[in-house]
Amino acid sequence: MRPVLAVKDLSVTFRTEDGRLSAVDQVSFEVADGEVLAVVGESGCGKSVTAMSIAGLLPRTATVDGSVQLDGTELIGADKRTLRSIRGREVAYIFQEPMTSLNPVFTVGHQISEVLRTHIGLNRQAAQARAIELLKLVGIPSAERRISDYPHQLSGGMRQRVMIAMAVACDPKVLIADEPTTALDVTIQAGILDVLRGLRERLGTSIVLITHDLGVVADLADRVAVMYAGRVVETAEVHEIFAKPQHPYTVGLLGASPAAGRHAETHRLSEIPGLVPVLSEQPDACTFADRCSRADDSCTTSQPELTAGVHRVACWHPVREAVEV
Amino acid sequence: MRRYLLNRLWQSVVTLVLATIVVFVGVRALPGDPALALAGEDRDPESLRAIRQQYGLDQSWLVQFWQFISHAARGDLGESIRTGTPVRSMIFSALPVTIELSVLAILIAGVIGVGAGVVAAVRRGGPAEWAANALALLGLSVPHFWLGLMAILYLSVALGLFPASGFVPFFTNPVDNLHHLILPALILGTGLAAVIMRQTRSSMLDALSADYIRTAEAKGLPPKAVIGKHALRNSLIVVVTIVGLQLGALISGAVVTERIFALPGFGKLTVDAVFQRDYPVIQAVVLVTATAYIVINLLVDLLYSVIDPRIRVRGEA
């Protein structure tokens, strides 16, 4: 099946006062129709930058190389007009902070209608009516009244639902959800995940789910790409990742997150020593070598490539044995 | 809302009374005697006493104050000591000039200030921002009176583009009226435009880096909507505040500007009254100015909640 979204060799560098900074290096992944791909990793590993670069939302200080194809249309290097017509229409975003991501001075109805009027050319009444339908779709009670509410009159969970309604207004092919549940209470998170799952089932929307929460991944994702220091280090079906993680970093991530049944013997979470390095340029080495217990000379002298196949890993010494994580 | 308005009304009355007391005492503490000024050369004790009696100046301050207040409450502001004209009609003829001048100045300052501020924020680091900043600095540092004189010298006298002085009432000839007022309004508005520009620029920079702007861009909205709607609307609250705060400066600026362009407005009325120790006129002028100030501040406060729905006046929720 032809992928809806194909990212190939995507690299992003930022111009800063201290020189260039590499944020994303040679990242490739594909998302099939109706598939949920989770991109996981620690803070600062390049997840969000990858997400933003897809529709050209990075600031002017960023340089993006490589290729992002949406249904065969190349987005990297596309002119502003093309990108604008794709944003919100074919690729839509949900952000982490529902508190600040909505404009405080416009009603939620206005903010949803705006997308419809811009992209589909609906008139005021039609857009308003469709906005009410969308609010119902994402599970907002008494949508007819809520439509004229301002964001500050809604709870965090409701605002995130509004963000989702706004994002799916034009029935986009790809929905990019950048930490959609991170800022919300645990009880609210489940509701938001239900909404996303429902959208995928009803509308067949492909979802790129950016998160560091492995619980969310297990709940929603079909496939997982693990990122570390700007590179994809492992990608596999979701059950494979949880059952047979091969990259020591993935093993570390799983060991660091609480889950029922795991950690049964020690009752302690493990941690990965050290921090994600900030790189001015990507070295010809494994960027995880400094923090890895399995690293040897080969890891510090040459960069491991992703292996071929369904379960792909970029590691010189992948974990083959069943690990107790 | 009604409780809020009543509350504000009560506060306004207190403010007005206080302002009136300060001015009432202030004018009388000034050296100079209106009776002396009126009597001119013929200053024998008999005629001075007659003048004082006629205008109630021989009464105690307390009685004079009560008389002024109780008359003012009924809309009677007394008569000018100097000319005998009812003060009310003097104010009614001068007020429209100043109101029109101020409104025009605010409009001009708003358009220039907001426009330049937005451009400076959007074109950050470029020559446009540099030019806008330079203009703002100039607008802030050059005094009104000098700018006014230069404008008259070059634009009116040398080029003959605008009349150098005088006033034509709006209803007599609107075009001529605007032709007379546009230059003074421009001069009066420069300082305000500079202040508005700087505030707009900084609040626009804040707004442009906000999360909801990223959302607006992610929605595929054109730059016109992202900047002119989503960012600007959030910046305007600051601009409105600034206009409200700068009103005092605008009124005092109007005094100077009216003087330069010989406009028969409130500023001229005030200055003349002070020079002539025309107590009733000075008192009335301050009363009206204070009232205007209070009303406009109330309007600004009410305007907040229109611009930003998060701000709701007390008692409404």
Digit-coded pLDDT (tens) for A60-115? 889 999 999 999 899 998 999 999 999 999 999 999 888 899 999 999 999 999 99
Q: The dihedral of CA B83, B86, B87, B88: what is its sign? A: negative
Q: Would you state the pLDDT for residue A27?
A: 93
Confidence band (pLDDT; 50, 70, 90) for B317? very low
Contact A278, A230 (CB under 8 A): no
CB contact under 8 Å between B211 and A119, yes or no, is no
Q: Would you state the pLDDT for residue B315?
A: 42
CB contact under 8 Å between B308 and A89, yes or no, is no
What's the ipTM?
Answer: 0.87
Q: What is the CATH number of the domain that holds A259?
A: 3.40.50.300
Q: Name the domain count of chain A.
A: 1
Q: Would you state the pLDDT for residue B316?
A: 44
CB contact under 8 Å between B218 and A57, yes or no, is yes
The radius of gyration computed from the CA coordinates of chain B, to the nearest angstrom, equals 24
Structure tokens, A241: 């990742």
Is residue A277 domain-resident? yes
Best to test chain B binding among A95, A101, A103 (most B CBs inside 10 Å): A103
Helix spans in B123-163 (H):
127-141, 144-151
The radius of gyration computed from the CA coordinates of chain A, to the nearest angstrom, equals 20
Structure tokens, A316: 């010189």
What is the rounded average pLDDT for all residues in chain B? 85
The CATH code of the domain at B94-275 is 1.10.3720.10
Q: Which amino acid makes up residue A146? A: R
Is residue A253 domain-resident? yes
- As a whole number, mean pLDDT of residues B63-72 equals 85
What values do phi and psi take at A178, rounded to 5?
-95, 100
Domain that holds residue A58: 5-101+172-313
pLDDT tens, position by position, B21-67? 888 888 888 777 777 777 776 677 888 888 888 777 888 888 888 88
Examine the pLDDT at A323 and tell me if it is beyond 60: no
- As a whole number, mean pLDDT of residues A254-281 equals 73
What values do phi and psi take at B99, rounded to 5?
-60, -45
The size of the A-B interface in CB pairs under 8 A is 74
Confidence band (pLDDT; 50, 70, 90) for B274? confident
Task: Name the minimum distance, in Å, from the CA of A92 to any CA of chain B.
Answer: 7
The structure tokens 């079906």 sit at: A237
* Torsion from C-alpha of A165, A170, A174, A175, nearest 10 degrees: -10
Q: Which of A146, A198, A144, A138 is nearest to A164 (CA)?
A: A138
Strand partners, A237: A223
Is residue A192 domain-resident? yes
Is residue A209 domain-resident? yes
Find residues 232-251 of chain B whose CB sits inside 8 Å of chain A.
233-234
Whole-prediction pTM: 0.81
Q: Which of B216, B35, B38, B204 is nearest to B116 (CA)?
A: B204
Q: Is B212 on the interface with A (CB under 8 A)?
A: yes
Task: Name the minimum distance, in Å, from the CA of B149 to any CA of chain A.
Answer: 44
